[in-house]
Structure 1
């Protein structure tokens, strides 16, 4: 981080990234449901329509397939659309457009066309939104060649990664953890948290500073076990490491596709143990890919099996939301288990 900084929430960081990108390049357009006049359901685009006009920031009908389809057409024409799907749970009608068109555009055209677009989506639970406002569908996109998949865990990362995503010549799925939108998260749902003004991850560079896609970050250095996490689960990992006293190294993946395999393997070869955390359901979740990657690359360095701590294999349980999430207690048990082997 260089130059002056401002303390801000993730919402403010995302809004600032939009603003800088639109100011820098008049090909950047922003649209989606309630994105224009209202500024988005979470206010991530507030003020952009007033500043740049309704031709560059505008509302779309409740039609996710139409929103994404229009963005694909715009991007192949030369624009850089940034679209918001109001909740990640709503993206399924647009999935065919994303997989069959956006992800394949470069390859099916032999490189004649690219698809420089960003699809932003609030993801995960924590707002008591129930089954249709709380899902974590990242694994559906990491399986698709031609896409990039990003999950920031801080305002700093949200701004820098979103700017890089907008600059990227190919489609980027940008998943924003809702529990991190308005402030820090200490890993526990039932504890007060420190305001952003006292939280170092709230410091965001004022200028046009990007973070490269595909690069993980070490959030906590350690020597006994590696924890692989992203989004909200980074803070759960930090709480578990602190409460167990285990010297855990926490790798914040930040980008799931492409994955920073070098950072992962370097850490696991050092510690000899690995725990993977994500909020999504366990079966066929992204943690399975991470576990397989670690086993293939680090087998002779492992002192214990790779363990996963995830959500349940059930439809999202509104009434038991906080039991569904991996918390410090569940992660702590996994850390103790790998240390016993």
Structure 2
């Protein structure tokens, strides 16, 4: 099979083909989550897709979140303030990085912890920056892009999960602490297929993508960070979103893949979470796995045809017009259910 990715390089995987307003009311409850060995069984809160949609729109309203730009700084400040408003312990991790085109950028990873003293931990990862150019756009090549699904929707789902957790009494908390880790500068990478007019100025062997997660993996925050597993959210807000079982996820966190996809099927979201295994992509989970956190990547993958990413990927069409509350509900409710069945 021939894959045609437009954003990431494919990685070899052993045994696989290579491939602001939000509601203030307390969320409703869904079915009780329990698992053998758990110390308690508590009802899982309902994921509020309206709230997640509003968080997506709020990020997009800042404008393209490109490092070194005022909109990027403003959105980062908003995310930090919003996570603090939920009562989470929040730390910022500033860093400097060089992009493939020789631009020196100032980045900022954001780490927020729910129940920071809990021994057992699960990480939810996402990236909050946008790509500086819509190089895959057939009409407006290299124009600024909103990154509504690619970035904002994933952060929005993470924010809504954090809000939901913050409204729970301690007696109704899940059995794990939850870390929301938002990476910066994920999307300023070199794509040979669409950027033939540019040159990658980074040293041979360097990865021009995922600059924030690369930095975090080398400078763990919190220091010595450990989690039982991680869930990377990326492009989880578009209408008719579909999520396949990605190669690096299967290689490094097969049991977590099974847990997520089986949970989705159990609560009625198998139309979104497909039991289809697909090749590996280069995304932030490559580096979180290297850092010792077995991580699964949930990202929108076209279920048919040879395209590896949706048509809106790195195009100006990635705007609020494609965002669907149903897709965010499927992802957010599944992740919440996974957390509460620990």
More RCO (CA 8 Å, sep 6+): 2
Q: Would you tell me which structure has more helix in proportion to its own residues? A: 1
Q: TM-score range by the shorter chain?
A: 0.3 to 0.5
TM-score for both structures, normalised by structure 1:
0.33
> What's the TM-score, normalizing by structure 2?
0.33
For the pair shown, the structure with the greater C-alpha radius of gyration is 1
